[in-house]
Structure 1
Amino acid sequence: MTGHERSYDLLFRDVDIIDGTGGKIRRGDVGVIDDRIVAIGDLSTTGARREITGNGLALAPGFIDVHTHDDALALNGNPMEPKLTQGVTTVIVGNCGISLSPLKPGSPLPPPLNIIGDSDDYRFPTFRKYVEALETRPPALNVAPMVGHSTLRVAVMDRLDRPATSSEIAAMEILLQEALDSGAIGLSTGLYYPPAREAPPGEVLALLMRLAPSGAVYTTHMRNEDDFLEESLRESFETAKAANVPLIISHHKCMGRRNHGLSHRTLKMFDEVRKTQEVGLDAYPYTAGSSALLPEMVEQCERVLITWSTPHPEHNGRDLAQVAKEWDCSITDAIDRLLPAGAVYFHMAEDDVRRIVSYPHTMIGSDGLPRGARPHPRLWGTFPRVLGRYARDLKLMSIERAVHKMTALAAETFRLSDRGRIAEGHFADLVLFDPKSVIDTATYEAPETRAAGIRMVVVNGTVLLEDGKIHKLRPGKVIRRAATT
């Protein structure tokens, strides 16, 4: 193409275009007017209000973080620095069965609901109220919200250590439908965690039946990711198939030394089930996970770090075993004294992580927890780590394929229209980066550290980050699923 009849608001000249489809890099120009990409190709005859020259830099669609817990971080016009500085332009919230709504203020917050906020953050009795809060004071980035099954359970049940009754399921269905009508893009479950552990497949299926007519997706932190990993995958596949809904397995992993290497078999399971079902998965590029501090998770791990503790903040960032030794008590007693708290859990093998991250159908999700004094470094480093370490340095995939996982694959799987590709008519969510230097710098010792190599980030046509400087603007949008009629 040769140009556009109107001068562009933003024009990237002579950049290496990685368009998100997985296709080969091509050199060219990209023109933006308002919040859309309007032209791609040789635009040398047309001017622009602002021009950026490539100089060996790559231009990609803004990265989509498919697995976040940014529900509270996104409120009140937050610049969302941990995500923005690694090239993320869209976050999907409401994962692992946990969402800020619908829940009446003052409701109990059993772990892990407390990983995304405290009682002041849970102030939205309807999903619509949460969406309206995001729209009233938009964040810097786009937010695509899901509704959490555990939040629904807390909202309607007096006890969580049992299956829901038929009347409680009916009450959850009403809340779920309100969320879908308010634009929720899907339902998530966290069947591993105590608030939903006693929910049988039939309870989940009843809620999933509400999704089928709406086009919403189902994501799950499965019932088990260690000794019963394969059984949990089968349960997830079967439940989603019975409801005829698209399924996404969250942060696929093989926990515990006994299960290291199991990804050889689990990925074959994905290959097989994808022949007859719509099934996706996401992963993060680290051998440690993070969540609330839970005794059953500690048992799986070779090492545990405290990320935050309400009664003992002096131990934030410290090794749990060392704290127990100083207190001259058992690990179990130390956990009791630290609660409520959060932790980083070292329980995976690098070979499994590499195998899962490079699997063609795996999306990238940080699973970062913005709450806490010493968060897991994945909050700040996930996407540059995949690009720099796993694609460029280890050559587990091409840079084009890595970008595809973070962009078009994510947009297609979660049904986010007009995003995830550099294409005419798509929203101008863009990231300009240096393929030679892009890398994560966040560590477990210094987790809140910006990535290197991200030169510019554009959200809906607005430049938000350039040369390390964040502009205090809020162009983010709530990405809603269209309400059913």
Structure 2
Amino acid sequence: MLDLKIIGGTVVDGTGAQRYRADIGIADGVIIDVVRRGTDDSETDGLQTAHAAETIDATDHVVAPGFVDIHTHYDGQMSWDSLLEPSSGHGVTTVVTGNCGVGFAPVRPGSEDWLITLMEGVEDIPGTALTEGITWGWESYPEYLDAISERKFAIDVGSQVAHGAVRAYAMGDRGARNEPATPEDIAAMGRLVTEAVEAGALGFSTSRTLAHRAMDGEPVPGTFAAEEELFGLGRAMAAGGRAVFELAPQGAAGEDIVGPKKELDWMRRLSGEIDRPLSFALIQVDADPDLWREQLDLSAAAHAAGSRLYPQIAARPFGMMIGFQGHHAFGHRPTYRRLQAESSRTDLAQRLADPAVKAAILSEDDLPIDPTVLFDGMSAFVQYSLGRLYALGDPPNYEPTPELTVAAIAKERGEDPLATLYDLMLESDASAMLMLPLFNYADGNCDAIREMMLHPAGVLGLSDGGAHCGMICDASYPTFLLTHWARDRSRGERLSLEYVIRKQSRDTAELFGLTDRGTIETGKKADINVIDLDALTLHPATMAYDLPAGGHRILQRASGYAATIVGGTLTRRDDVDTRARPGRLVRGAR
């Protein structure tokens, strides 16, 4: 007797092998049978006659493993959101949190607010939402994992221990202020890291990019850590068990084009010494648009020499969304400020559509920038970026051509570019969003991204699910990979469906030792997607105000997922949450 069977689908099993038609039998949360069908259904009846409590007819659909997203920031959201959107709506069945050196454990009693301001500054998650939404109740990292293990989710969750929290716990204010660590400090931090991995942490994360700062402007603790500290913590991680050393390296945000090469040297040596994977963020920066290729080649050479360096790469241009509901060019105009303060969101959209209001806003000078307020200079930045700010359309086009920039559209219309931007943002009741690619689009196309994804050292990551709430929704990467890269791309070569599914299922799972999932094979965890690939659609991003304390976040919906299954339980049917919560904490390598 099967709990569930999926019949008649085209299986893309996550190994990279060619697709085939098969039926899948599931019992006790595990795949117990994969029966291939011939090209003619009369050759075998598959599992059609097998008894099952529930049957999913996957005829004309793709059946794929659940996707494993290794770079998210749901550390706080886990306290109040069992659904873990937006990831759970894009075929993701396992997420890894605690990236970039920020997290919520260990924490000394009384320092919870400091960890919140650190997360708010680095990951743009509203501090009011974190303050209201997080249910504290731990001090040590093992206690933190125990607290997570008591919760039930739509998808599985794994966590990494973060350098920022560890440094502040072990060193107090000296650690938070990035003062040098003494040998005693390193030993104390090392004990915390070993303890965390022994308790089930999937990895240790740190950040060395100056772009990652707390709300007070202080870089993440560990940003300037000396090699002795990094190696000491790497050894401590390895002593705890199988885990991954993850980091945002120097130069990751383009502030330094020399730093990345220096970083690769110590990363290579550390990975070789501790015999553990080391994964780092890799993006194309305009200051040196070919540097990424050199970094990939150095990573491949490190693999050949016995070190395991895995550059984390993004599947599409890396930047931010611009619109009236988020960051935009008119946030410092007096009329806009006044209307925003006195209007509801619905009324504001209506009033912005008034020609007299538009004329007033366009005629005004900006109010002064407050350098103490994070992102306060964003309006001016957007105004000077109209030559690379793109209209996306519906469905959104993430590989837009030059004629879709605001500047080009304005020239075609014979208008002032800011007036054109205003009108573009007014579309869809002032909810329309445009794309400002800061990285990964130096050439005006996605060819560099394609080459990154094809490189054997690269691993898909950087979705930042749950983070940068006012700027992006890159947690929709999985759907984008299936639609743009495997089905729709018109400006260059596509990638095979088998390849993009493998890259976000088996490859990401194996990096973190989660070898019980990521492929459709007998004995594997029954994390599965049934996808109507022809109908699969990535919808435009929109702003939602559904976080605790009314906090905002950008969401992006997908349609075309006929079913998502986690541990043999149907969690989504036809893109709708079933309210089943089979997801659990994942501890350690599997």
TM-score by length of 1: 0.85
Q: 2:368 — aligned with what?
A: 329
2:563 to 456, 468, 481: 456
Quote how far apart the aligned CAs of 1:199 are. Answer: 0.7
> Pick from 13, 20, 27: which aligns with 2:21?
27
Against the structure 1 CA distance between its residues 200 and 359, is the aligned structure 2 distance closer, same or farther, given a 3 Å change threshold?
same
**Corresponding residue to 1:220 among 247, 250, 257:** 247
- Whether the 8 Å CA contact 2:89–2:558 is kept in 1: the answer is yes
Distance 1:90 1:466 in 2: 18
* Aligned pairs for 1:343-362 within 5 A: 346-348=437-439, 349=441, 350-362=446-458
Distance 1:445 1:137, change over 3 A: closer
1:392 to 484, 487, 495: 487
Shift of residue 156, structure 1, vs aligned partner: 2.0
1:306-325 correspondence runs (5 A): 317-319=326-328, 323=332
What is the CA-CA distance between 1:372 and the residue it aligns to? 6.5
Could you tell me which amino acid in structure 1 is paired with residue 225 of structure 2?
A: A
Q: Which residue of 2 aligns with 1:426?
A: 524
Task: Call closer, same or farther: CA 1:237–1:316 in 2, change over 3 Å.
Answer: farther
Larger Rg: 2
Cα distance in 1 for partners of 2:292, 2:469 equals: 32
**Match for residue 40 of structure 1 among 34, 38, 62:** 34
Q: Equivalent of 1:109, from 115, 118, 124?
A: 115
The structure richer in helix per residue is 2
Q: How does 1:198-209 map to 2 (within 5 A)?
A: 198-209=224-235
Offset at residue 360 of structure 1 (A): 3.8
2:269 & 2:328 partners in 1: Cα distance? 39
Cα separation, 1, equivalents of 2:464 and 2:538: 14
Shift in Å, 1:77: 5.8
Cα offset, 1:274, TM superposition: 1.4
Moved more, 24-33 or 239-248: 239-248
Which residue pairs with 1:294 in the alignment? none
Inter-partner Cα distance in structure 1 for 2:322 and 2:268: 33
Q: Is the 8 A contact 2:300 2:457 kept in 1?
A: no
Alignment of 1:394-409 (within 5 A): 394=489, 395-409=493-507
> Aligned AA for 1:84?
S
Q: Is the 8 A contact 1:327 1:334 kept in 2?
A: no
Deviation of 1:369 (Å):
4.6
| 2:346 equivalent in structure 1 | none
**Is structure 2 residue 197 aligned with structure 1 residue 191?**
no
| Counterparts of residues 40-59 of structure 1 (less than 5 Å) | 40-41=34-35, 42-59=46-63
User: Structure 1's 71 and 326: CA in aligned 2 closer, same or farther, altered over 3 A?
Assistant: farther
Tell me how far apart the structure 1 counterparts of residues 484 and 375 of structure 2 sit (CA, whole Å).
38
Residue 182 of structure 2: aligned partner? 165
Offset at residue 329 of structure 1 (A): 2.3
For residue 77 of structure 2, what is the amino acid of its counterpart? Answer: L
Sequence identity percentage = 26
Contact 2:64–2:501 (Cα < 8 Å) also in 1 = yes
Q: Secondary structure at the match of 1:367?
A: coil
Match of 1:10 among 4, 7, 23: 4
CA contact (8 A) 2:71 2:465 kept: no
Partner of 1:84: 88
1:305 is displaced (CA, Å) by 5.3
Pair 238,320 (structure 1): closer, same or farther in 2 beyond 3 Å: farther
Partner of 2:41: none
Please state if 1:96 is matched with 2:100: yes
Decide whether aligned partners of structure 1 residues 202 and 111 sit closer, same or farther in structure 2, where only a CA change above 3 A counts: farther
Does structure 1 conserve the Cα–Cα contact (< 8 Å) formed by 2:268 and 2:308? no
Secondary structure at 1:129's aligned position in 2? helix
- 2:144 aligned to which of 126, 130, 133: 130
Say whether 1:230 aligns with 2:261: yes
Residue equivalent to 1:293: none
- Whether contact under 8 Å (2:526, 2:565) holds in the other structure is yes
Give the match's secondary structure for 1:207.
helix
Uncovered stretches (5+) of structure 2, i.e. residues with no partner: 36-45, 213-218, 334-363, 383-434, 545-553
Q: Distance in 2 between matches of 1:401 and 1:269?
A: 23
SS at match of 1:103: coil
Instruction: Verify the 8 A CA contact 2:2 2:25 in the aligned structure 1.
Output: yes
Once the two structures are TM-superposed, the CA of residue 361 in structure 1 deviates from its matched residue by 4.0
1:295 corresponds in structure 2 to none
Name the CA distance, whole Å, in 2 between partners of 1:162 and 1:131.
Answer: 29
- Amino acid of the residue matched to residue 142 of structure 1? D
Q: Quick one: distance in 1 between partners of 2:470 and 2:562?
A: 26
Counterpart Cα distance in 1 of 2:168 and 2:464: 23
Residues 103 and 125 of structure 1 are in contact (CA less than 8 Å); yes or no, is this contact kept in structure 2? yes
Deviations 1:188-210 (A, max 9, x none): 11121412222112101001111
In 2, distance between residues paired with 1:268 and 1:419?
A: 29
CA deviations 1:298-330 (Å, max 9, x no partner) are: xxxxxx859xxxxxxxx8612268538854325
Equivalent residue for 1:148, pick from 154, 157, 162: 162
- C-alpha distance 371-95 of structure 1, shift in aligned 2 (>3 A): closer
> Whole-Å Cα distance in 1 between the matches of residues 332 and 502 of structure 2?
43
Q: Does the aligned pair in 1 maintain the 2:296–2:458 contact within 8 Å?
A: no
Greater shift after overlay, 363-372 or 76-85? 363-372
Whichever residue aligns with residue 421 of structure 1, its letter is: T
1:412 paired residue number? 510
Q: CA deviation at 1:89?
A: 0.3
The residue number in structure 2 matching 1:64 is 68
Task: Tell me how far apart the structure 2 counterparts of residues 471 and 105 of structure 1 sit (CA, whole Å).
Answer: 38
- Contact map agreement 1:144 1:479 (CA 8 A) in 2: yes
Shift of 1:452: 2.5
Q: Whole-Å Cα distance in 2 between the matches of residues 319 and 418 of structure 1? A: 44
CA contact (8 A) 1:148 1:187 kept: yes
Q: Which residue of 2 aligns with 1:246?
A: 277
Q: Distance in 2 between matches of 1:43 and 1:133?
A: 41
Give yes or no for contact 2:63–2:529 (8 Å, CA) kept in 1: yes
Partner of 1:297: none
Distance in 1, matches of 2:502 and 2:455, equals: 12
Q: How many residues were matched structurally?
A: 450
Counterparts of 2:499 and 2:468, CA distance in 1: 33
State the 1:102 CA deviation.
1.0
The whole-number CA distance in structure 2 between the counterparts of 1:208 and 1:182 is 16
For residues 204-249 of structure 1, what are the alpha-carbon distances to aligned partners after superposition, in whole Å with 9 as ceiling and x for unaligned?
1001111224122211111222313333233322332233321112
CA contact (8 A) 2:103 2:115 kept: no
Match of 1:272 in 2: 301
SS of match in other structure, 1:448 = strand
Residues 12-62 of structure 1: CA deviation (Å, up to 9, x unaligned): 001111111000001010010121110001223312111111121011110
- CA distance change for structure 1 residues 352 and 28 in 2, over 3 Å: closer, same or farther? same
Q: 1:421 Cα deviation (Å)?
A: 0.8
